[in-house]
Every structure is written in C-alpha cells, then in structure tokens.
Amino acid sequence: MRTLYFITSNKGKFLEAKEKLLPLGFSVVQKDLGYPEVQAESLEDVALQGITHVRMGFHEPFMLEDAGLFIEALHGFPGVYSKYVFFTIGLPGILRLLSGVKERKAIFRSVYAYSEPRKKPIIVFGECKGIISMKKQGTHGFGYDPIFIPDCAEKTFGEMTVEEKNQFSHRAKALEKLINVLKDSK
C-alpha cells in the first residue's frame, strides 16, 4: 500500500479522495499543513505555488486541490477569490449581485496538483457547468453548494448526497483524471 498525503483543511475533500484511491492501493492521509493561498490569476497558479511551498518542508508524495466558482455575468467573479468572498459577502451577497439578472451561468473549476520528490508536479483539471439558483436551497455540502444547480440536474448541490454530487462535480472529475495518471505510473 502506497501512502499519499493530501494537504487540505477540508475534511470533505479528504474523504472523497480516500474512498476513491483506496482500491488502487493508495492509503490517503490528511495533513492540514496549511499553505499560503497566494493572490494569483488562476487556480493552477495557486496550486503550483502551494506545491512549491509544501515541498520546502515536506518530502513525501502528496497532493493538494484548489477550486473556485466562476460566474459568467460577474465576469468570472468570485473565481480565485471564492474562499474570501464566501467568508465575506457570502451566499446572500452573491444572490444580491445577481438580483434581476436572468443569465445565471456559472462554472465550478477544480485543479488537483500531485507532487513526488525530484519529479515535475502533475496537474489535472475538472469542471462542472451549471447555473446560480434564485435562492439558497438545501443544507448539504459546503461553500456555494446551496446556490449551484449543475446542468442536467433539477436541484442544487446543497440538495444532493455526496454520491449524487460526485456524479457531476468538478472535483470528482479532476480526481478521476489524477487516478488515471497514477494508475499508469504504478
């Protein structure tokens, strides 16, 4: 069994990865080491700078993930600022910004970055298209889940079980890609 550290403060992300990677012979261990989420222009830059920072003090294989919500009518806001915006104006603030706006398309994006000592990091992407609902619906999940309805679904992520969300989610798609790369590299 190979040990793979997941550098994250988010328990939900960890549990999802653990379940998916166990059958492939990876024992995933959560490490909440924290890394500076620098003000960057892309999720990939945030993830790569996270890798560089963690690598300085940690010498085992690890992965980390960065995600964000990009709203078309707001020119991609909150995007790389999703965490800050969630803890400041929050869901009511986003709904206010979109009040009276009919075009409510949005995309969740996820970037997984995987690092092994002395090797180039592996970067994979996943996205999930959908719309911002008119009001908060559901209490499951975290972050923007109660206001995001993925395409081909009738309800928000906040109204879905983890298994249902995983059928659509940006993070599950990115993780699938990472798993395929890791499988090939075994």
* Residue 33: closest CA among 1, 3, 8: 8
Residue 25 beta carbon to ligand ITT: minimum distance, rounded to whole angstroms: 23
DSSP codes, 97-115: HTTT----EEEEEEEEEEE
Which residue among 32, 45, 66, 145 is the active-site one?
A: 66
Binding mask 141-160 for ligand ITT (x = CB under 6 A): xxxxx-----------x---
32 assigned to active site: no
Please identify, among the stretches 19-27, 53-61, 80-88, 119-127, the one whose residues bind ligand ITT according to the rule CB under 6 A: 80-88
Residue 184 beta carbon to ligand ITT: minimum distance, rounded to whole angstroms: 25
Applying CB under 6 A, among 4, 13, 149, 179 the residue interacting with ligand ITT is 13
DSSP label of 30: E
Kindly state whether residue 70 participates in binding ligand ITT, applying the rule CB under 6 A.
Answer: no
Applying CB under 6 A, among 17, 26, 65, 173 the residue interacting with ligand ITT is 65
Residue 24 beta carbon to ligand ITT: minimum distance, rounded to whole angstroms: 21
Q: How far is CA 27 from the centre of its chain?
A: 20
Distances (CA, A) of 65 to 77, 78, 135, 162: 19, 17, 28, 18
Q: Which is nearer to ligand ITT, 26 or 70 (CB)?
A: 70
Residues 6+ apart with CB under 8 A from 87: none
* Residue 63: closest CA among 74, 53, 51: 51
Residue 3, classed as helix, strand or coil, is strand
Residue 108 beta carbon to ligand ITT: minimum distance, rounded to whole angstroms: 6
Cα dihedral across residues 121, 19, 13, 148: positive or negative = positive
- Residue number of the CB atom closest to ligand ITT: 143
Residues that bind ligand ITT (CB under 6 A): 8-10, 13, 37, 65-68, 82-83, 86, 108, 141-145, 157, 169, 171
Catalytic residues: 66
